[in-house]
Amino acid sequence: MWKFEGQEHIYKLIQNSMVKTRINHAYLLLGPEHIGKTTLSLEITKFLHCIDEIKPCQNCDQCVRINETNHPDIVLVGNTISEIREIQEKVSLSPFLSNSKTFIIHNGESLTIEASNALLKILEEPPNNVTFIISATDEQYLPSTIASRCQKLELYPLSTQRIYDYLIQHFDISNDEAKEEAKLISKLSKGRLGWAITAYTDTNFLQTRNHDISLFDQIINGDMSERFLLSQQLSNNFNKNKDNIYTTLETWLSYLRDIMLLQTNSHELIINIDYEKKLIELGNKFELSTIIESIKVIDKASKNLNKNGNPRITLDNLLMRFP
């Protein structure tokens, strides 16, 4: 039994290919961050190695070892050239406990050009009993020569209702307050189950998100000097912990998108449901074109920070151009 919620189209495809004894040499799992690519790559690995009739059984020695990350024929590979070169050495060795070997590569988009070239060489002439499972957020971040040698498996966002039902069941939620929280988180998750589980179990999640929304209000109500001060604080925080700013920017983006949705009468699609009144007020205050412009500016700032742009200049520029 697959220990995974959703993405049934992927299990079916892999099960069918097993029936036709046409297991591919390489799979490419594609989907946004926190949608479940890491978990699914392990489930596929169990499926490929399981010795039971109904795969993956979760109980045989192969499945148990994979669960415990203690299987000598399953290799989790990093993205550097030296780690990819290690595959070259290991790929021709016979498996120890299984009939085949599986190499798993997460964050395929971070492979350097050198590492991609080395990987390509291996994929061009793969040994018979070896499977590669590579995951990436988007196919375009990988060299097309690699992507074209893999069977692409795309993970789709789950419905809000399915995520809500999963949280209720998985965390055995029964009281109304926790149900409301699960409802909000399933909306905010945008269909990414891994994200929803992390957010629900992180006791600080909603507090941080509410703080990010209050920052948004401070910026739009603040004059230039207040905005400069906030930019300084944010860039100092960025130097301490890079991930937080991306979460903040994602919250601001979702907030602005909600304002846009309300302005275009798509009320049922908003995700920050607990701020609806505030969002309506802001929608009355700003033109649609201003909101769209702000969304573009945040998106650009996020990309710029990702490309190691100067955080202070990027954030100054962002906050100055806020409505």
Q: Kindly list the residues in this chain that would bind Zn ion in the complex (CB under 5 A).
A: 50, 52, 57, 60, 63
Q: Which helix (H) or strand (E) is 43 found in, with range?
A: helix 37-49
Q: Which two tokens mark 100?
A: 């085949």
Choose between 57 and 292: whose C-beta lies nearer to Zn ion.
Answer: 57
Closest CA to 244 of 202, 300, 183, 182: 202
Choose between 7 and 98: whose C-beta lies nearer to Zn ion.
Answer: 98
CB of 133 to Zn ion, least distance (A): 17
Choose between 64 and 178: whose C-beta lies nearer to Zn ion.
Answer: 64
CB-CB neighbours of 53 under 10 Å? 6
Choose between 50 and 115: whose C-beta lies nearer to Zn ion.
Answer: 50
CB of 46 to Zn ion, least distance (A): 6
CB of 255 to Zn ion, least distance (A): 45
Q: What is the torsional sign of CA 152, 153, 159, 163?
A: negative
CB of 42 to Zn ion, least distance (A): 12
At residue 172, what is the residue type? D
At residue 118, what is the residue type? A
Choose between 57 and 206: whose C-beta lies nearer to Zn ion.
Answer: 57
Choose between 52 and 217: whose C-beta lies nearer to Zn ion.
Answer: 52
d(CA 136, CA 121): 19
178 burial type by CB count under 10 A (0-12 exposed, 13-18 middle, 19+ buried): middle
CB of 61 to Zn ion, least distance (A): 8
CB of 56 to Zn ion, least distance (A): 5
- Residues β-bridged to residue 104: 76, 133
Q: Let me know how long the chain is.
A: 323
d(CA 144, CA 154): 16
Distance between the two ends of the chain, CA-based, in angstroms? 51
